[in-house]
Amino acid sequence: MQNNTAQIEFWNSHSGRKWVAFEDELNLVFQNVNSELIRRSQPAPGETVLDIGCGTGATGRAFSQHLAPGGTVTGLDISAPLLAQAENRAEESETEMRYHLLDAQVDAIPGGPFDLVVSRFGVMFFSDPVAAFANIHRHMASDGRLVVAAWALIADNPWFRIPRDAAVAQLGEPDPTSPNAPGPLGFQNIDHVVGVLKSAGFANARGDACKVMLSHPGPTHKLAALAANLGPAARILKKYDGNSDDLAAIQDGVLWQLQAFETSRGLNIPARLNVFEAIRE
């Protein structure tokens, strides 16, 4: 079975390590996404939770507050640098945290069967999503729930659109891709993903778009640096072999655009997500 070779290479490279450097800013921006996942999935004390694409562990730590006593969180990722940082912060959890460097598409997953599978932007990268979700399905308990968040259309997400447009203006267009291709926006088509989940064996599969606010206390230049160094801007920089001057120009463009979202309490950027839910019967 094919694994996620290209993604493994990316997330263990310098590009992946930048996510550790910007960890604190990312956790602030995405904390409301964690809250939405918790609201929908209703984690309970004693449950076993699987966090797919756990990164540095922020989502798992948020869930752990609802699992004591006796619950556990198992975090999976293909990035050794991100998992090393998650391990460094494991003591901040309310319950036991277990981390594993493996590919959820093809590898056996320790710690199951799982009552709840969650992911914050970690499931859009599978080269074979049906195979990946079928593997996840096999490791879930009967009546186990799956609740995962992904990005909706780029047009509805300034967080993606602004740095992408700034990078395009500086360097050029990104490589064209299919809307369903593995990547940050690979789950923008709700019907397609629901079909994937059904093909993988899940019951009651559904998806819906929801709005959340991406919040950050500021100053704005910190968020501009984050947006210019990660995501679509970073991929365009890599494609065109951009230099430090290009990065500075992109960051200035992002900074100017983000000022529209400044408030007296920091920045509030509206985002549209696709949240998918399903059950293993």
Mean pLDDT, range 32-49, rounded to an integer? 98
Full domain range(s) for residue 225: 5-280
Query: How much is the mean pLDDT over the chain?
Result: 94
Contact criterion met (CB below 8 Å) for 262 and 220: yes
pLDDT of res. 16: 76
What confidence score (pLDDT) does residue 167 get? 97
β-bridge pairing 114-120 and 140-151 = parallel
**pLDDT tens figures, 123-144:** 999 999 999 999 999 999 999 9
Mean pLDDT across 175-196 = 94
Q: Is the pLDDT of residue 32 over 50?
A: yes
How many residues are listed for the chain in this entry?
Answer: 281
Q: Look at residues 61, 72, 167, 148 and name the one whose alpha carbon lies nearest to residue 112.
A: 72
Percentage of the residues of the chain whose pLDDT score is greater than 90: 88
Give me the DSSP letters along the chain.
----HHHHHHHTSHHHHHHHHTHHHHHHHTHHHHHHHHHHH---TT-EEEEET-TTSHHHHHHHTTTTTT-EEEEEES-HHHHHHHHHTGGGSSSEEEEEE--TTTS--TT-SEEEEEEES-SS--SSHHHHHHHHHHTEEEEEEEEEEEE--GGG-HHHHHHHHHHHHHT-PPPP--TTSSSTTTT--HHHHHHHHHHTT-EEEEEEEEEEEEEE-S-HHHHHHHHHHSHHHHHHHHHTT--HHHHHHHHHHHHHHHGGGEETTEEEEEEEEEEEEEEE-
140 bridge partner residues: 114
The pLDDT assigned to 2 comes to 54
Which residues lie closer than 8 Å to 80 by C-beta, 6 or more apart? 12, 101
The pLDDT of residue 177 is 87
Q: pLDDT at position 1, please?
A: 44
Closest-CA residue to 118 (of 95, 149, 87, 91) = 149
- Within its chain, how far is the Cα of 221 from the centroid? 23
- Model confidence pLDDT, tens digit, residues 42-83: 999 999 999 999 999 999 999 999 999 999 999 999 999 999
User: How far apart (Å, rounded) are the C-alpha atoms in residues 32 and 19?
Assistant: 18
Give me the mean pLDDT over the 215-220 stretch.
Answer: 95
Q: Tell me, what's the pLDDT at 8?
A: 82
Cross-strand pairs, 207:
276
Question: Which pLDDT score, from 0 to 100, does residue 203 have?
Answer: 97
Lowest mean pLDDT among 67-71, 93-97, 191-195: 93-97
184: domain CATH number is: 3.40.50.150
Per residue in 234-256, pLDDT tens? Answer: 999 999 999 999 999 999 999 99
The span from the CA of 143 to the CA of 134, in Å, is 15
**pLDDT at residue 178 tops 50:** yes
pLDDT digits (tens, 9 = 90+) for 105-121: 999 999 999 999 999 99
Number of domains composing the chain: 1
